Amino acid sequence: MSAETGRTIETTGAAHTEALGRAVGEVAEAGLYLALDGELGGGKTTFVRGLAAGLGAAARVASPTFVIMREYCGRLPLYHCDFYRLEHGGDIAELELDACLERGVVAAEWASLFEPPRGARVLAVHFEWTGDEARRVTMTAHCERTRKLLAGIKL
């Protein structure tokens, strides 16, 4: 994979993964769809905590598992959702992800359970457990805009 479409970072603790999310939040623009996947406890919510901080949201991010979606107010609104529970009887249409993307950034945990909305600018982030405190985080751009965004992230 070329350097501009994918970047892999070995993080050495939760704070490191959070810093990665913050770096993405600092350059994020409306329409960005972060498709977060990987195992339980991989660091998806931890990453979103940093993302929210990078977008300038003051609130602490909690897991959206039991509410399906939470909104955070920063430089742009951040819509944090979790598709894990939706898979068991929820309706993704109710989230109105298209409208969310017009206004701000969507970060979806267990994203691969559903197709991203048409026209979403997808940056996929995959988390793998490589040790108690270590995670391999692979970010993959799915369009030209997210390729540029990925190239611009300061790590």
Ligand X SMILES: Nc1ncnc2c1ncn2[C@@H]1O[C@H](COP(=O)(O)OP(=O)(O)OP(=O)(O)O)[C@@H](O)[C@H]1O
Binding site for ligand X (CB under 6 A): 11, 13-14, 16-17, 40-46, 63, 109, 127, 133-135
Number of residues assigned to the chain: 155
Task: Say if CB 36 and CB 51 are below 8 A apart.
Answer: no
Q: Which is nearer to Mg ion, 5 or 63 (CB)?
A: 63
CB of 41 to ligand X, least distance (A): 5
Please compute Rg for the chain using Cα positions.
Answer: 14
CB of 139 to ligand X, least distance (A): 14
Residue 46: which of Mg ion, ligand X, none does it interact with, CB under 5 to 8 A by kind? Answer: ligand X
- Assess 45 for contact with Mg ion (CB under 5 A): yes
Q: Which is nearer to ligand X, 87 or 133 (CB)?
A: 133
* Whole-angstrom distance, CA of residue 119 vs CA of residue 31: 8
Nearest partner of 141 among 22, 21, 33, judged by Cα: 33
Residue 104: which of Mg ion, ligand X, none does it interact with, CB under 5 to 8 A by kind? Answer: none
Contacts 24+ apart (CB under 8 A), 65-73: 68/95, 69/95
- Assess 44 for contact with Mg ion (CB under 5 A): yes
Q: How many residues bind Mg ion (CB under 5 A)?
A: 4
- Tokens representing 72 are 């955070």
* Chain positions contacting Mg ion, by CB under 5 A: 44-45, 63, 109
